[in-house]
Amino acid sequence: FSWLVNATYQLNAKNQITGLATRQTYWKPNRNADALIAPEATWIEDDIFRIYQGRYNSSITNSALFDARVSYLKVDFPLKFQPDVTGPHTTELSTGFQSGAAAQGFQFYRSRTSGEFTLSYYKNDWLGADHDLKGGYQFFRGYARTGADVLEAVDQSVLNGVGSSITQY
């Protein structure tokens, strides 16, 4: 599911405001599905991606342009265990078949706020040439969080149903 709204309003001949908002949502109830992976060993991926941005643009003169943008981005990207999981991740070494929980669950989160302000000035035939001068300021503040989980803190391998190795976290 996704949507996008982009609207522009012309305040007058020299000033314009633009707003943009978008959201994309992906619901993947069995990510990583495969003939050798039991349904309960797949992930649930419910990720959401959002962007919001505002822009102001002004033609100060025929030679000067001011542009300002502020935006916000937020991404949630989890890979969760299935709710009906009854045991840790298990790999049958004789076939490669995986059962139990997914090997690991993950949580990824990012957000960023940014801004950009610029002033451009064009001067033709100045000092023997045309010149485009531009100055401005940019900033951003970002945040990220990641995490991993292993069900019951165990990943095990079996050979023909008999324990072969175990990794404990």
Amino acid symbol at 25: T
* Strand duo 129-149 + 154-159: pairing: unpaired
Give the residue-averaged pLDDT of 103-110.
Answer: 94
Instruction: Express as a percent the part of the chain with pLDDT over 70.
Output: 100
- Is residue 106 within 8 Å of 76, Cβ to Cβ? no
Q: For 84, which DSSP code?
A: T
Model pLDDT for residues 6-62, shown as the tens digit of each residue = 999 999 999 999 999 999 999 999 999 999 999 999 999 999 999 999 999 999 998
Give the residue-averaged pLDDT of 117-134.
Answer: 86
Would the pLDDT of 101 be above 80?
A: yes
Would the pLDDT of 97 be above 90?
A: yes
Give the residue-averaged pLDDT of 89-117.
Answer: 95
pLDDT of residue 131: 84
Amino acid symbol at 35: A
Would the pLDDT of 126 be above 80?
A: no
pLDDT of residue 147: 94
Amino acid symbol at 32: N
Mean pLDDT in the chain? 94
pLDDT of residue 125: 78
Give the residue-averaged pLDDT of 76-92.
Answer: 93
pTM of the model: 0.74
Q: Which H or E run includes 82?
A: none
pLDDT of residue 113: 97
pLDDT of residue 62: 87
Q: In the structure, how many helices (H) and strands (E) does the chain have? A: 0, 10
